[in-house]
Every structure is written in C-alpha cells, then in structure tokens.
Amino acid sequence: MRAVLCACCVAAAFAATAQGQVVVPPAAVEAAQDAAAEPSAEPVVDSVPRTWALTGSMATPRSWHAWTTLADGKVLVTGGLNAGVILASSELYDLTTGTFTPTGSMTVPRFGHSAVLLADGRVLVVGGRNTVTPELASAEIYDPATGRFTPTTSSRVGRLHAEAIPLLTGKALVIGGYTTSCELFDPATETFSETGSLHTARALFSATRLSDGTVLAAGTYPSQNSAETYDPATGVWTTTGPMIAGRSEYPPGVLLDDGRILLAGGTFGRTSEVYNPTTRTFARTGDMAQARHNYPLVKLADGTVLAAGGDPGGYVPTAISEIFDPAIGTWNTTGAMVVRRFAHEGVLLRNGQVLVFGGTTLSGDAASAEVFSPPVTGLASVELSKTLVSGCLSATGKVTLTGPAPAGGFTVLLHSGNPHAVVPTQITFKEGIRSKAFKVVTQAVEEIETATIEASMGDGRVSATVTLTPMGVRLLLLSPNPVAGGGSVAGIVALPCAAGPGDITVSLSSTKPDIAAPTTATVTVPVGTNFLPFEVTTTPVTAETKPQIKATANGVTKSKTLVVNPAP
C-alpha cells in the first residue's frame, strides 16, 4: 500500500540537507503546538467503550510509510520519514507474537512510494521521493524467503504518491503519481510495460480493484471529483462518475461485500459516497462524525469499515474512530485510539483485529502501534422449526450469531435441559458464517414434557423451548386399496419408534362405518414394538365410496382414504 503525505508539504515545503533532513513547514509546527495547548478542541468520545490496545512498537519511528501483508500473514513496513530523515529500513509485524522485527533495508531510502504484493509472494516497491530525486522511477523487490530487497527494472517515469494494484492476471498496475502515465509490472520478467494512460494526472488519490477485476481511480491533488476505470482486457481507462465531492489525501476506497466501493473523507472533509459499478455512478451516503484526511480505511471481517484517526485540519492528529455499516449507510463512533495520529497506516490482520502503526503524533513521528478489536461476534438467537414435537420425532434448530464468524471461526456449545431431547454437544462456525443448523432428536415420553435447548459461547447464552408429547401415530397403511365392497382390508399402524416406556393404545375409526369399519375400536402396540396390524371390513356398494379410516394415539391422528368400489 502507498504512503501518503500532505501535498502542500511535498510541493512547497520539501527541503533537504546533506544529512537527508526534511524541513517541516512552520505552519505545521505552529498548528501542532496549538493543538497540544488546547487538546479539548477534539470531540469528546470518552463515553464510548475503548476497543484499542497498544501492541509491540516498531524498531524505528516512521510516518508516510508503506505496508504490505505477506502471504504468511506478516505485515511488511517499508521506508517513510523519521523526524525528517528519509528511511530505507523495513520491518515485519508478526501477529502471533505481537512484535515488529527489523528485516532487510531497501536499496534506496524513500517515502511517498507504493508497495504491492506480487502473485509469487514477493513485494514490489516503486517510486517515492528521496533527498536526491523528487520523483523516483527506481523499483526494487522484497523476497520474504531471504528478507532482502533487490533492485529491479525501473519504471519508465518517476512517480510520487502513485498507486499500485495487483491485477487478476498476476501483473501489477502502477497508476499515476503526478502523471497520467500507467504501467504494468510483470513479475515473471521483472519488467515494466506501458499501458493506457489516465485521462487526468493523479496523485494522493484512491485506486481500488473491483470484483470483476477492473480498477477504479478517483480524485487527485488538488481535490477533484473526476473518476475513471481501467479494463485490464483492453488496457484502456474510461471516465465514470463524477464523484459527489472532490477528494484528495484520502485512503484507497474499500470494496464492500455487495460490490460497491466506499470512498470517505479527504482534505478536511467528512462526506462519504459509494460507487456502483453496475450504473457507473456515485451516490452520497452517511457523513462521518469527524472530518479527516491522511488516515486508514479498513474493511472488517463482518463487512463493516473502520476509519481511524487522521488529520481533521491544520496538521492536528485525532484519535477518533468510526465504523461504517453498509447495510444502513451510516457511521457510528467507536472507541478512540490510544494515541492520536495521522499519516499512519492500518491493516486487517488474520485474527480479525486491525493493526495501526506509526504516523505523526503531537510529539512527532511515532514508533508505537496498537490493535483494534472489533465488537466480539456473539450469540443472537436459537430457533426451532417446531415448538411441539411428538416423542421419537425430530426438529431442526438454528443458532444465529450477531455477525459473521471471524477469521478462524469458533465453536458454540449446545445443551438440552431434558434427556428426552438430544442435541449435539457443539457446532462449529466457519469464517464468515452467521447461522448454523443442528438437529434435535426426541425420545419417547409418557406425558407432556418441556425441554430447554441452550447455546453458549463464553458468557453468552441464548435458548429456546420445545414441548414433547407422548408419541402418536406416524403412519397408516391400507391394502388392498381400492377394494371391492364386501371384501376385507389389512391395515397397519406404525409409530415413529418402538413403543415405550409403556404400551401405546391406538384408537381406530371410520367416517362411514356402515361402508368400511375397523373390526376393533382400539389396538395396543406393546413396549418394544413400533407397528401393529388390524383389519377393516367393508359392505357391498352400488357406487364408488370413499370413507376415511383414522388412527389416533396421544392426540396425534393419521387418516387414509379407502376407495370402496362396486363388486364386479
């Protein structure tokens, strides 16, 4: 991912010394001093439960750096600035230990560069700025297997604040960077080749790959509302949009689960909008509570989106965080970060947490890092397909979560308060699953009973109740059917399982006993047996007649139509 730096700092205030020092604009220093003197200028969010916690710090403070998530889940952090010094150093964050470890340094110090994971697991770093070249064309590749950077072919033009997007073809698309030029990097040959140019020169803009593999580029510095899409099949950019608002210095748009793209914030803005790739139009959605730019926008495992920190204006960092819910199009303030920061980075980790690291704080560039733990997915409900079940029959249960299961999934325990209603001891939710079915198998009971089915996970518990009734008739068979009047018919009544704990009495009847009637009013199915035969006699008829033969046990009735025809 790219590192972003305030455009006015890049264009008007960059000054280098022989030691590689960058002079920070006096206005920025004054704004930071004012903010330190008046911290109450930031909106109060103390009433919101905090969901942030510090994790291991980086070895080197840095802002305006770039990051890439490697194939093994580690996060590679490259370059940036530390108190005005342009960095070549890089480090890796390991989720399992919660620590950063230095790795090989880049061959060229740089900030404002782009970094992208290649199809073969290596990382391409391209462009940026150093003390010698304002817009670098040089590129290098990081190999996780060796932990080293190696120079590769340079891009055809120098780029600063460009975007690099991995395409479905395996190539990487490098876009803009104060230019309309775009190039494709082929990791197999380690060469750049020209592709279609942008209609608008772009820097400090958003670029996002859509579900169909095309790429949306939107905004630029200074703020513009222009947008265009790239088709890898043709290598051509086509104008789309425009956006509702002009944007620059804002994070790459987020691909939502429904295929739309969320764009939010930008230079001193709090507006948000979504791009619909089907209609190729932008539509306004809910505004953020806090205006912000130079901040990360991260999609969470449940499909919502986190905006964390940033610069509301005047180079004053904020700690305010918000979550966007695509289902209703609104933002809700969540816990504040431990440290106010802007020009930092944020990345979703494999465990569902978000890592935020570095950036500029009120005391300068930071080495600190913190993790955001989204609201824990919990139990929403247990539902049963039947609330009244005859003994020995089954029902289907369903456990629903408050959100999709996070990375790695988890297990929900099941318990029945009645031994005559049996459920699995546990069910497992895979990542992304929100509901899971299970089976409730009942046993024979002598009288009406209730069973409470409970699902639990940690301290969370939800339950549902099912009523068990003594078993009834499951099946009624008649043969032959049709029958000639005056003949007899063999009948069978069947239970759902073997009778028990006592005998089961079945009442037999007919809707037209003068035409067809069981020879006995009741039959008794003995314990351990699940069926019993009986006989139906009929009388001669002059026209087809259809009496109903009924069998009832414990309030459960089954009926069968018997067709009685005239004798030949």
User: What's the mean pLDDT in 509-537?
Assistant: 96
Cα dihedral 465, 469, 471, 475 sign: negative
User: What's the mean pLDDT in 350-369?
Assistant: 93
Q: Is the pLDDT of residue 230 over 50?
A: yes
pLDDT in tens, 190-214: 999 999 999 999 999 999 999 999 9
Q: Please state the domain extents for the chain.
A: 379-469, 475-565
Alpha carbons 346 and 356: distance in angstroms, whole number: 4
Strand arrangement of the beta sheet that strand 435-442 belongs to: 379-384, 394-401, 435-442, 421-422
Non-local CB neighbours of 348 within 8 Å, separated by 6+ positions: 298, 299, 300, 301, 354
Q: What are phi and psi of 278, to 5 degrees?
A: -75, -45
Q: What are phi and psi of 508, to 5 degrees?
A: -115, 140
Alpha carbons 481 and 473: distance in angstroms, whole number: 20
Reported in sequence order, the residue ranges of 177-280 that DSSP labels E, i.e. its strands, are 182-186, 191-194, 206-209, 215-218, 227-231, 236-240, 254-255, 261-264, 272-276
- In the chain, % of residues over pLDDT 70: 90
Alpha carbons 17 and 23: distance in angstroms, whole number: 9
User: With the CA atoms of 509, 515, 519 and 523 taken in that order, what torsion angle do they form, in degrees rounded to the nearest 10?
Assistant: -20
- In the chain, % of residues over pLDDT 90: 77
Q: Is the pLDDT of residue 236 over 80?
A: yes
At 377, the pLDDT band (50, 70, 90 cuts) reads confident
Alpha carbons 260 and 210: distance in angstroms, whole number: 8
Residue 293 tokens read as 């730019």
At 315, the pLDDT band (50, 70, 90 cuts) reads confident
User: What's the mean pLDDT in 164-191?
Assistant: 97
Give the pLDDT confidence score for residue 133 in this predicted structure. 81
- Beta pairing class for 483-484 and 564-565: parallel
At 267, the pLDDT band (50, 70, 90 cuts) reads confident
Regarding the domain with residue range 379-469, which homologous superfamily does it belong to in the CATH classification?
Immunoglobulins (2.60.40.10)
pLDDT in tens, 387-431: 999 888 999 999 998 878 877 788 999 999 999 999 999 999 998
Q: Is the pLDDT of residue 14 over 80?
A: no
Q: Is the pLDDT of residue 5 over 60?
A: no
Give the pLDDT confidence score for residue 190 in this predicted structure. 97
Give the pLDDT confidence score for residue 518 in this predicted structure. 97
Give the pLDDT confidence score for residue 102 in this predicted structure. 98
Look up residue 41 and give its DSSP letter: G
Domain 475-565 is in which class? Answer: mainly beta
